[in-house]
Structure 1
């Protein structure tokens, strides 16, 4: 570890973006319940813009992770960029090969890795308990996928089968979806009860209450809104927003103030992510232009978006987990050992 003693890596998001996400989730749910006839027209454009400016952009600063957490590895800019591009694009190419070789396995891995990545991004900053980070990551990610499987089984199966069809794999049956939802539901519900009980038992009352509140909000979102909309709201205005603000801290931006003024924060991130974001948007424009020219259906457009997401999820999730979160815990453990040795 080459981090100075004063450094604290951002593991979870702070209270400000969490409150912003709470408000957006509540607004989306209220819109769907109060004006269902207009909700789709109101939410869809907002999600499309958000998906471009937050969803696509949130991984466009991955190249800054290693220089911030392991500066010794990036002293030579040319060598670092060669290693970064080869590693990042190599992992993406590996997923592409898996799509060609084992599409059904690739779909399962994509959803599993996404569940872990989303859950770990939400993790509370219990700096002395890395085991809580692992438990929370698995359970929160599981919740985000289990609820739609249970309450929107047909719609969720249609999304999964569209992705499987694009890869040339056999569709999954309604019975299989029901069985998966049952098993995951028992594991996720039981796991959350154990996790919250452990929080209270060890004195983490505030963390327990926050986690219960967030689980309730997300369950409400996932039950009320159809899967594509609920996943879009979560991905854009919860996961991506929190990641952007974590990356801002990692790139030297001062901690967010207590006010919900996110414009300057987003502007800072978009300026840093502009080069790779422009390349990503150009690639997506070409891909969707070809699909449009071939008169692709709406389900194909959705499946294409998920396929593209699956290709970049592996390098992005590994970089966040190993380059930010694992470094945080390793640094925290070292600091805790230092404090313990000083006592004795």
Structure 2
């Protein structure tokens, strides 16, 4: 059953203000266009800090999802924590084994799962039919990969091959990148047109306008900035920030819908995520310390970050899709 634009989603929806994310994307694009010689120096430290305080942290409250979305499973605190840790770490270990066994397959699965997770978790807040959410999830996730594959083919291929090389897999060719970009671009462009037409046909004009606006903003970001910077800005200040705000709602903190200064919300989340965040940062420090001692290059550090992200993406994405977004597909 389809709902009108005025109906908000229940707990766990993405009904949080995105204006802060919009403004940061516009500021990053403006900085790159106006002062390209300084933009990298301005954005890099912001992204490094943001990657730690938002990027790494945004999954450090995953343990709070099930108690709210499926309270019957958490009546025994000890039993829940054992099940959570075994399940979460077990899925992460499974990805680690897949890296050792089939690195090329793992890279493909990682990018595909990331596209789904980004597209589904960042769906418009206003409720629509389940098929709209699924379509949006696939198209938005595909958009985030199709644009850099087309406009920044060589740079994107270098990132992919760096990750493949870290796992000992063969690199992809320029022809393969070009073919993938062409097919994915056609699918994503056509899919968005069909999605927007369906929104408008069923009276979801606000949702259609929101999705068009966001698609335009993201395309601009992905075209103007190089892949590493555009992916960093999106991941930290759009995906991670919005997830933090959703989690705060899930954990019982009301959000001021007109508030753009989000320091209090981020501080609240960081306090709740502190134990797992500290463990994650300690593990990253050890890993990068080892890489530093072996004189690893910048590309190796980037590939290591992507490899670590791939290990935890599976359990994190499952919790978001099956828990926080359960209302979407039920």
Q: TM-score, normalised by structure 1?
A: 0.92
Q: Indicate whether 1:12 and 2:14 are aligned.
A: yes
Tell me the SS of whatever aligns to 1:261.
coil
Q: Indicate whether 1:288 and 2:288 are aligned.
A: yes
Deviations 1:167-189 (A, max 9, x none): 00000000000000000000000
| 1:259 shift after superposition | 2.0
| 1:126 shift after superposition | 4.1
Say if 1:50 and 1:236, in contact at 8 Å, map to a contact too: yes
Mapped to 2, the partners of 1:24 and 1:150 lie a distance apart of: 24
Which residue of structure 2 lines up, in the alignment, with residue 334 of structure 1?
A: none
| 1:328 shift after superposition | 5.1
Say if 1:13 and 1:243, in contact at 8 Å, map to a contact too: no
Say if 1:13 and 1:245, in contact at 8 Å, map to a contact too: no
Q: Which structure 1 residue ranges, 5 or more long, are not aligned?
A: 1-6, 331-344
Mapped to 2, the partners of 1:258 and 1:19 lie a distance apart of: 9
Q: TM-score, normalised by structure 2?
A: 0.96
Mapped to 2, the partners of 1:36 and 1:174 lie a distance apart of: 27
Deviations 1:47-67 (A, max 9, x none): 000000000000000000000
Which residue of structure 1 lines up, in the alignment, with residue 88 of structure 2?
A: 88
Change (3 A) 1:202 1:327: closer
Which residue of structure 2 lines up, in the alignment, with residue 319 of structure 1?
A: 319
| 1:9 shift after superposition | 1.6
Which residue of structure 2 lines up, in the alignment, with residue 177 of structure 1?
A: 177
Which residue of structure 1 lines up, in the alignment, with residue 301 of structure 2?
A: 301
Which residue of structure 1 lines up, in the alignment, with residue 52 of structure 2?
A: 52
Say if 2:118 and 2:137, in contact at 8 Å, map to a contact too: yes
Which residue of structure 2 lines up, in the alignment, with residue 206 of structure 1?
A: 206
Mapped to 1, the partners of 2:302 and 2:218 lie a distance apart of: 22
What are the within-5 Å matches in structure 2 for residues 186-265 of structure 1?
Answer: 186-265=186-265
Say if 1:157 and 1:172, in contact at 8 Å, map to a contact too: yes
Mapped to 2, the partners of 1:241 and 1:114 lie a distance apart of: 16
Counting matched residue pairs gives: 322
Change (3 A) 1:78 1:114: same
Mapped to 2, the partners of 1:78 and 1:160 lie a distance apart of: 41
Mapped to 2, the partners of 1:215 and 1:327 lie a distance apart of: 24
Say if 1:13 and 1:122, in contact at 8 Å, map to a contact too: no
Say if 1:10 and 1:328, in contact at 8 Å, map to a contact too: no
| 1:130 shift after superposition | 1.3
Tell me the SS of whatever aligns to 1:9.
coil
Deviations 1:143-195 (A, max 9, x none): 00000000000000000000000000000000000000000000000000000
